[in-house]
Structure 1
Amino acid sequence: MRRLTLWIASTVAAIVLLFSYRTSLGAGGGGGAASAPVILTPQVSAPTGRILTVDGSVARTRWGPVQVEVKIQNHKIIDVRALRHPDGNDRDTEINAYALPQLRAEVLAAQSAKVDAVSGATVTSGGYLKSLQAALDAAHFA
């Protein structure tokens, strides 16, 4: 009986510690981490109401890191922008010049991360949507 009580108390303590842990707010460079911390940065706008700005985690793709920032106001996605995207060569720049605006438009229309990948930019699209979903989850956006 003592073992069971000790086990339950240990489990509860571990869960409390896990949910209360705060990740560092360091710059997302270097290291072998799979993703950077999700950073919530609420901003207050004047008369129109509160704007919540959330940075998604860094999605590591084979062409480079992808990270997005989403702005939410009154339970609506009002803006999405890529903070980081593959830019190692001219081809990456060319692909992202047409893919990122398309992804942004689709997300704003769908009001979710459940949109189709852009043809020719499948890897970047996957990273974009993964980072966006992380940001939406952090913002508790339904």
Structure 2
Amino acid sequence: MHALRKNRPLRRIVLASAATVSGMVLLLSLKPHDTPAVAVPAPATAPSGGTSGSTAGGTTVTGDSAQTRWGPVQVRVTLQNGKLTDVTAVDYPTDNPRDQEINSYALPRLRTEALQAQSADIDTVSGATYTSDGYRRSLQSALDSAGG
């Protein structure tokens, strides 16, 4: 007995519906070959681990590089009179467009949080858990090296 016989219209409807649903699932699961690039400045290269120096603007210290699942994260801090005045991410994952997209919104938020908190006790940015954790560890390392 053939599955698409004319005396079984319900079976034909079920098979046609299943084929349509399967085709839609396959069509919707296709991903574009190239994702649009997000403009993120390339990280500056910096020596690893506690590099410090005095400038007219205060003391500048580079924290240890914190290895994360997606790559290293490293920050440089500037302190003036014991107060955190600037935090710059000098190394962070930029290998693919998704890393660039995540870091384009996460790094400014982490910087703002650090400057407001005046410490490494900052919140994790949703969607950037690994970057946030590495940022926090490198920031704490820099603050420890600066004695702040």
Q: Which of 18, 32, 50 pairs up with 1:38?
A: 50
Whole-angstrom distance in 1 between the partners of 2:97 and 2:140: 28
Match of 1:5 in 2: none
**In structure 1, C-alpha distance between the alignment counterparts of 2:53 and 2:71, rounded to whole Å:** 25
Measure, in 2, the Cα distance between the counterparts of 1:111 and 1:38: 18
**Equivalent-residue separation in structure 1 for 2:137 and 2:60 (angstroms):** 17
- Count of residue pairs brought into register by the alignment: 103
* Mapped partners of 1:135, 1:37: distance in 2: 8
Are 1:87 and 2:89 an aligned pair? no
Structure 2: which amino acid aligns with 1:41? G
Structure 2 CA distance for aligned equivalents of residues 52 and 112 of structure 1: 16
Give, in angstroms, the shift of residue 74 of structure 1.
Answer: 1.2
With normalisation by structure 2, the TM-score equals: 0.67
Alignment of 1:95-114 (within 5 A): 95-114=102-121
Residues in 2 aligned to 1:108 and 1:65: alpha-carbon distance in whole angstroms:
22
1:113 is paired with a residue of what secondary structure? Answer: coil
The equivalent position to 1:75 in structure 2, one of 82, 85, 88, is: 82
Aligned with residue 60 of structure 1, among 46, 52, 67:
67
SS, match of residue 119 in structure 2? coil
Identity of matched residues, %? 54
RMSD (Å) for aligned C-alpha atoms: 1.2
TM-score w.r.t. structure 1 length?
0.70
Give the C-alpha shift of residue 72 in structure 1: 0.3
